[in-house]
Structure 1
Amino acid sequence: MKLSISSTIKKQLKYVFTANIVVGIIAALTYPILARIFKPEILGEFQLILSVILIFSSIASFKFEEVVLLTKRKYQSKVLFQMAILSAITSSILMSVLLILFLNEILIFFKLSYFSEALWIIPIGIFSVSVFQIMQIKTVKLMGFNHFSKYKVFQSSVYNGGSALGGMLSPSLFTLLTAYCSSFLISILLMLLMFKRAGLMFFVKDFNRCKTLYFRYVKKYYKFPTINVANVFINNLSMQLPVLVLSKKYNYEVVGVYMLANRLVELPAGFITSTINTVYTKFAAEEYHKSIKNLQSVYIKSAIALSGIALIFFVTFYIISEFFLEYIYGSNIDGIGFVLICVALSKSFQILTSPLSQTANITNKQEVVAILLCVFLVLRYFALDYPGQFKNSLLAYSIVTSFFYCLILVVNYRFIRELR
């Protein structure tokens, strides 16, 4: 039987990559401005707080939104969506409580005593980012990738434009944090208006029935709020580890240099992986329900296509590091070219593997990935703590991270081969 998904995937990815091009242009125009407006120390402080937001927002919903794409029944999808939103709200409140209880200890540990007021944006950031991600999944489920891509572009435009315009008036940490959180909150409101105009209701009003279904679905999909949450938390902690370790081992200027290089690479890499994640999960799940052979074929074809994308990605940023960085950031930031190459290397392997890692959810083998994440989290930490210069630490981290992604690629293929 011939697979009929190739043309469908290409059609959906057309929206995604068009959006990525637009977002890339916005970033290319904005980042040089930010590098000249804000001091590297401020960018480093912003990156540290942003890392905390990204780590906790990725698990705030307990990953119930991932099940939304895997379900066939509309009512079940609505209940799971509602569970994800309520989980995000609860997580944000818990983070606020933790800040109240341990604020002084956090400030002392990260040497942040002089901008304690900015830390109160963390719960707002966790809420806004997590709810935006949930709404995006729901948008894909109900309205397709066209609207998904539009709001990605809109959020990026508000964030980058707000940071640049706000920085011209007040180049402070608070300006960057406000622009970041506002971009998600405004996007969420616009998506709610879009659903309302389309007459799409995605909340279940029968609360008594919902309570029963909540417990049933938690039991049925227990691996998502447990193993999946652990996997995502450890994976994001691993990706943000350079910021956390470098801020303690060196200074915020070093973190700022890392942020500028990482942002230039992360934006296209993040959009590619997140959007292909969504497309691959949707179609791989559908093919899995048809036959295991179909899933294996989708996996192999996707791996080959992603290998080409990853190679082009790395070569592009290598050329940028050699010939164009001075035009982008100016000549006053030392060592950023080497940092960019190290970051681009690990991100290239992430592009290759990250979308395909969703196979573990489909084959129900999340616990194996959790073990590998734990092992490599320790290895990444020791790589960053490698004695010597900042460059040695970052290169060691990049090599270990790249090897981890290669191992995940092989392990996921083995999962499919073992299916019966």
Structure 2
Amino acid sequence: MPSKNTNEKRFASDVLTLVGGTGIAQIVAIAVSPILSRIYSPSDFGILALFVSLSGILGSIACLRYEMSIMLPDSKEEADTQLILSIIVALLFSTITAIIFLLFKNPILQLFNAQELGNYVYLIPLFIFLQGMFLSLNFWNSRNKKFKNMAHARISASLSKAGTQVGAGGIGYVSGISLIIGSLVGKIFSVITLVHSAFKKGVYVRQVNFRSIGAGIRRYKKFPLIDTWSTLLNSLSWQLPVLLLSAFFNSAIVGFYSLGFRLLQMPMSFIGSSISQVFYQRATESKNEGTLNVLVENVFRILVLIGLFPILILTLSGDAIFGVILGMEWVEAGIYVQILSIWGFIWFISSPLSTLYVVFEKQEFGLKFNTFNLITRALSLLIGGYLGDVYVALGLFAISGIFMYGYLCLKMLHYADVKNSTAAKIIFSSFKLFVPAALLLVVLRLFSDNLYLITGVAASLCITYYLYILKTDSQLQSLLEILPMVPDSMKKKK
């Protein structure tokens, strides 16, 4: 039997492999953004965003959540059956979607003000099927601990997507369709990588029959009947801004929002998910040991310490930073990020902590939260849309997000018996470090409109801040111990 240390090392290695693959993929995406933003227009990115939103919402339920069942069976044969079932369901789902688009293409395009998609809307069913394949194979590889294959799939997707999009633009095919084709190519490469590993290493297709598939459908029927709706609700909630901005405004505004929000979200999502992967496991242990409040308070502090300063820098200088990095045409995207940044920070700190409602078996709270979150987002965007003001739409969207995710964060702290006053002290302590930087940036912006100077100062302030806290904050060094992906050189020596 493997020792506890061996299991911990294996767990750390698995997490490091996945995080490494995700990290490389996101670095590629961020690095190529300044190139793509100078090749393609905001309208092109808007067309891509609408395509990805429509296909993403449907793609998230392409397998009717049967892909989740791949992890559950004791026997390999039953797991392989669930893999084949998931792929079959994805094929049927995408086929039905294709028929719907054939019959109702024009009304759908008119609803979302997306006539520019034209016949390329027929690629959405293909994307849905590929997403279903990806989800199914991803869970199968996870079950079989083939984490390197999963990492390779993410990297190959990012590289092939970026290469296709840059290459197409470089030879003169500059349109939103080229961005869509690039996304499809990336998805195809990721699926090919996972298919090769799955069938090379032994998916027993011959042992799968209609009887075993029927048994799998019946045994795991709660996934399509219950979990599908929760997943659809969550996916729709995240894609709602693109859909409603497209319906009320134009593809350029959608492009500004989509690229700006993506660049805001990617680093926060990467850091937050890295912490979440370990926090959930540690939270369960700490709850049983009676030390959960200490763990949650410490994790809350590290999230605030990492996220508050750069978010406030973006709030003051987002327009300049985006104009310099992406090109002056994208200053508007920076303004959108300035509007959304405070909400982004609160989402960043609440996201890892939100696993606590699962630890306390409060799943009904999660469903209620997702429902109200969707309603408030929709109302915010609808009000701004009917007023014809995108700033009002995004401002109300951000305010609703601040209240909703602020409530979520406070609720999770309450579950862990962490006082609101303690959380306030942590935030105020980090905010004090930002005050000198804020004064410098405000004075600079009053006396200079040089975006390059403003961006350079903002970057220097962020670098100085992180060097300072890494050197002086002993708790940060201790808290880094919960992250297996952190290099040993950054961890506190004992």
Please give the TM-score of this superposition, normalised by the length of structure 2: 0.71
2:302 to 308, 321, 326: 308
| 1:99 aligned partner | 101
For the residues of structure 2 that align with 1:316 and 1:8, how far apart are their CA atoms? 34
| 2:467 aligned partner | none
| 1:376 aligned partner | 373
1:48 to 47, 50, 65: 50
TM-aligned CA deviation for residue 234 of structure 1: 1.4
Which residues in structure 2 correspond to 1:5-404 (within 5 Å)? Answer: 9-169=11-171, 170-197=173-200, 199-201=201-203, 203=205, 205-219=207-221, 222=222, 224-272=223-271, 283=281, 293-294=287-288, 301=295, 304-305=298-299, 308-309=302-303, 312-313=306-307, 315-319=309-313, 321-322=317-318, 324-354=321-351, 357=354, 366-387=363-384, 389-404=389-404
For residues 189 and 161 of structure 1, do their structure 2 counterparts lie closer, same or farther at Cα, with a shift above 3 Å needed?
same
Provide Cα deviations, 1:378-414, integer angstroms capped at 9, x if missing partner: 1111222344632232122123224333444566788
Q: Secondary structure at the match of 2:64?
A: coil
What amino acid is aligned across from residue 401 of structure 2 in structure 1?
T
TM-aligned CA deviation for residue 167 of structure 1: 1.7
Q: Secondary structure at the match of 1:332?
A: helix
| 2:405 aligned partner | 405
TM-aligned CA deviation for residue 200 of structure 1: 2.8
What amino acid is aligned across from residue 58 of structure 2 in structure 1?
F
What amino acid is aligned across from residue 302 of structure 2 in structure 1?
G
For the residues of structure 2 that align with 1:195 and 1:9, how far apart are their CA atoms? 22
TM-aligned CA deviation for residue 96 of structure 1: 0.6
For the residues of structure 1 that align with 2:140 and 2:156, how far apart are their CA atoms? 17
What amino acid is aligned across from residue 370 of structure 1 in structure 2?
L
Identity of aligned residues (%): 22
1:30, 1:161 within 8 Å by CA — same for their partners in 2? no
1:92, 1:127 within 8 Å by CA — same for their partners in 2? yes
Q: Secondary structure at the match of 2:329?
A: coil
For the residues of structure 2 that align with 1:263 and 1:142, how far apart are their CA atoms? 31
For the residues of structure 2 that align with 1:415 and 1:229, how far apart are their CA atoms? 27
For residues 59 and 347 of structure 1, do their structure 2 counterparts lie closer, same or farther at Cα, with a shift above 3 Å needed?
farther
Greater Rg over alpha carbons, structure: 2
For residues 127 and 302 of structure 1, do their structure 2 counterparts lie closer, same or farther at Cα, with a shift above 3 Å needed?
farther
For residues 211 and 26 of structure 1, do their structure 2 counterparts lie closer, same or farther at Cα, with a shift above 3 Å needed?
closer
1:55, 1:233 within 8 Å by CA — same for their partners in 2? yes
TM-aligned CA deviation for residue 30 of structure 1: 0.9
1:228, 1:366 within 8 Å by CA — same for their partners in 2? no
2:296, 2:416 within 8 Å by CA — same for their partners in 1? no
TM-aligned CA deviation for residue 257 of structure 1: 0.9
Q: Secondary structure at the match of 1:201?
A: coil
The total of aligned residue pairs comes to 406
For the residues of structure 1 that align with 2:217 and 2:28, how far apart are their CA atoms? 44
For residues 41 and 151 of structure 1, do their structure 2 counterparts lie closer, same or farther at Cα, with a shift above 3 Å needed?
same
Q: Secondary structure at the match of 1:385?
A: helix
What amino acid is aligned across from residue 267 of structure 1 in structure 2?
M
Provide Cα deviations, 1:18-54, integer angstroms capped at 9, x if missing partner: 3344233312321111111111112112111111111
TM-aligned CA deviation for residue 118 of structure 1: 1.2
For residues 73 and 196 of structure 1, do their structure 2 counterparts lie closer, same or farther at Cα, with a shift above 3 Å needed?
closer
What amino acid is aligned across from residue 390 of structure 1 in structure 2?
V
For the residues of structure 2 that align with 1:186 and 1:356, how far apart are their CA atoms? 34
Runs of 5+ in structure 1 lacking a partner?
A: none
For residues 37 and 206 of structure 1, do their structure 2 counterparts lie closer, same or farther at Cα, with a shift above 3 Å needed?
closer
1:292, 1:416 within 8 Å by CA — same for their partners in 2? no
Q: Secondary structure at the match of 1:111?
A: coil
* Range moving further from structure 2, 155-164 or 293-302: 293-302
Provide Cα deviations, 1:195-230, integer angstroms capped at 9, x if missing partner: 344x232647231431342243234xx1x3233222
2:354, 2:409 within 8 Å by CA — same for their partners in 1? yes
What amino acid is aligned across from residue 172 of structure 1 in structure 2?
S
1:265, 1:340 within 8 Å by CA — same for their partners in 2? yes
For residues 317 and 104 of structure 1, do their structure 2 counterparts lie closer, same or farther at Cα, with a shift above 3 Å needed?
same
For residues 157 and 274 of structure 1, do their structure 2 counterparts lie closer, same or farther at Cα, with a shift above 3 Å needed?
farther
What amino acid is aligned across from residue 401 of structure 1 in structure 2?
G
Q: Secondary structure at the match of 2:144?
A: helix
For residues 126 and 218 of structure 1, do their structure 2 counterparts lie closer, same or farther at Cα, with a shift above 3 Å needed?
same
For residues 183 and 24 of structure 1, do their structure 2 counterparts lie closer, same or farther at Cα, with a shift above 3 Å needed?
closer
For the residues of structure 1 that align with 2:93 and 2:305, how far apart are their CA atoms? 38
Please give the TM-score of this superposition, normalised by the length of structure 1: 0.83
What amino acid is aligned across from residue 398 of structure 1 in structure 2?
A
1:16, 1:275 within 8 Å by CA — same for their partners in 2? no
* Range moving further from structure 2, 244-253 or 145-154: 145-154
For residues 227 and 37 of structure 1, do their structure 2 counterparts lie closer, same or farther at Cα, with a shift above 3 Å needed?
same
TM-aligned CA deviation for residue 100 of structure 1: 1.4
2:322, 2:331 within 8 Å by CA — same for their partners in 1? no
